[in-house]
Every structure is written in C-alpha cells, then in structure tokens.
Amino acid sequence: MTRLAHRIALLGAGATLALASFAALAEPARPECIAPAKPGGGFDLTCKLAQSALMDSKALQNPMRVVYMPGGVGAVAYNAIVAQRADDANAIVAFSGGSLLNLAQGKFGKYNVNDVRWLAGIGTDYGMIAVRADSPYKTLKDLMAALKANPSQVVFGAGGTVGSQDWMKSALVAKKAGVDFKQMRYVAFEGGGETFTALLGGHVQAVSGDIGEAAPQLQAGKIRVLAVLADKRLPGDLGSIPTAKEQGYDISWPIIRGFYVGPKVSDADYAFWEKSFKKVMASPEFAKLRQNRDLYPFSMTGKELDAYVKKSVKDYQALAGEFGLIK
C-alpha cells in the first residue's frame, strides 16, 4: 500500500468511528417519560417538567410522551424497567425522595438502589410543619412544648401511612420534642387536599407535608407554616418562614425529583440523556419552568447524583431502623 493510500485508509477509518460515535449518541427515536403514578401529582409534574424543558430547548427533536405506570409509589415501574426494559434507552423514569425512602425500606421487592442507573435530579420541594392560622401555636417551639407536655393533645395529619415521608416528618418532630414516636397521634389521609380540610375543620392540630402543596393555603391566609424543613430559608415569598434548624431543631427534609434509566442502557445512550439534562438545567428558561411548578433549585447528574442517591438511601435506612420500620 502506498503512503497516500495508507493515509486515505486511516482517514476513512477515523470518519467511520466518528460517525459510529455520533450515531451512538443520537437521541432516542421514541423518547418517553414514565410517571409511576396516575395522572396528576408529583411524578406527573416531574415528567412534564422534563418534557417541556427538553422539547422547548430542542434537546429532543422527537416528541416525548408521558406514560403512566401506577403502583406502589414507584415499585411497579421500578420492577418493570429492571426486569423487562433494562436496555431501553427511550425511557426515563421519574423518582422522588419518597421513592428512595421506599427503596430504603425494601418496598420495591427484590430490587435495590443499585439496580438502575440514576440519571438526573432536576428540582426539589421541602417538608414543612403547619397549623391553622388561628392556632395557639405561633412557633415550632410552641408546638414542641405542647407535644412534650401532653402528646395526646397534638394530632398530626398527613397524606401518607406509617413509614411514609409525611409520617417521618411527624415522627422526627416528636423525637426532637423528646416524645416516643409510638405516643404520637397521627392520622393518615389520601392526600394533601384531605389533610388541609381536616386541619381547617379542627380534626387535627398540625400537618406535616410539603411546602409546595401548602403554598396556596398559606397565600389564602388559612394556615401558618411554623417551619420549613430546609437547611436555609427559601427564596422569594416564602423567605419569611423560619427553618426548623434556626429554631433549634435539626430537621431537614428535601424531596428531590429526578429520573433514572434501566441498568443495561448503554454508556453512549446514558451520556446523551445526561448531557441533555445538563445543558437544559443550565438555562434561565429551565429555572422559570421549575419555579412555575413550585420546585426549588437542585441540579445533579451522573456520578454525583448516583452518590447522592445511595447516601440518601443509606441515611433513610438508618432512620427507618430507629423507628422500627426495618430490622
């Protein structure tokens, strides 16, 4: 082979590799976001935020559809992706802090936190403790004092059963008040709407929920939020609400929202999704979309998110163990 022919062959091989690499990173032909719940609610919101952001920014040329797969606060979708669609690069699946809490308690069956590829965290809500606007409890310290003096006089209400995120928030408040969580009076409701109806009706004295769902009631002047469960005060209109930490109680409860993909999705396909989310989340347009959905900044992808998720699950396992939820 002449020197010229050799160079042409090398150039041809390089071009072939470049084209192969480009093809491997090409976007999925039928992108979909799986919301592991019925339409409406947090998982739906998370998928629609990704749908709007990725399509408006042209990160996706093909339209993304939202698919609903309810069951077990994410358990059905998790099992389906791992067992049946492990290498499906078209699908991203929404998860939340509640999903991680359930994983920590073994509620996703035989699969655990290591069985999927954690992709992107795109926003967060925070826990909060609220009372009725005319409640005698003006501060979190007031509520803690009443709870310590007589645990039976403070009934907590929330949209989750024992072991759920909202139950955990109530149990942590009881713990910080020096009250055994088994003495805590707690009523579980179907969702935030029923919970606030019970609070306004005087059937419960306090609500442990999310600041996002409490905002409309707060703006209407019907409730008082005693504390937001964040490390620092929230930006904007909610900045006047003190954190539990600044009132002397080390309770923080972020509720992150994000996505994972199947365990056998190729590195190239994973890289396409990760780069797309990184680019989108860096834009001011995304910040507006996130704010419109009552979420706060949380942007994390790839290995950083993987480490965060696994640490969170480990922390939840320790907490669940303290409350006798797992052995």
SS3 annotation, the chain? CCHHHHHHHHHHHHHHHHHHHHHHCCCCCCCEEEECCCCCCHHHHHHHHHHHHHHHCCCCCCCCEEEECCCHHHHHHHHHHHHHCCCCCCEEEEEEHHHHHHHHCCCCCCCCHHHCEEEEEEEEEEEEEEEECCCCCCCHHHHHHHHHHCHHHCEEEECCCCCCHHHHHHHHHHHHCCCCHHHCEEEECCCHHHHHHHHHCCCCCEEEEEHHHHHHHHHCCCEEEEEEECCCCCCHHHHHCCECHHHCCCCCCEEEEEEEECCCCCHHHHHHHHHHHHHHHCCHHHHHHHHHCCCECCCEEHHHHHHHHHHHHHHHHHHHHHCCCCC
Does 142 share its domain with 229? yes
Indicate the residue among 222, 247, 272 that finishes a domain. 247
Indicate the residue among 219, 247, 275 that finishes a domain. 247
Does 119 share its domain with 258? yes
Task: Specify if 271 maps to a domain.
Answer: yes
Host domain of residue 112: 31-124+254-322
Task: Specify if 25 maps to a domain.
Answer: no
pLDDT, tens digit (0-9, with 9 covering 90-100), for 15-36: 444 333 334 457 899 999 999 9
The pLDDT of residue 2: 54
The pLDDT of residue 176: 95
Does 40 share its domain with 180? no
The pLDDT of residue 73: 76
Does 50 share its domain with 199? no
Does 227 share its domain with 136? yes
The pLDDT of residue 215: 85
The pLDDT of residue 318: 95
Task: Specify if 105 maps to a domain.
Answer: yes
Say what the pTM is.
0.84
Give me the number of domains the chain comprises: 2
Indicate the residue among 196, 222, 247 that finishes a domain. 247
Does 303 share its domain with 213? no
Residues of the chain with pLDDT under 70: 1-25, 327
Does 241 share its domain with 103? no
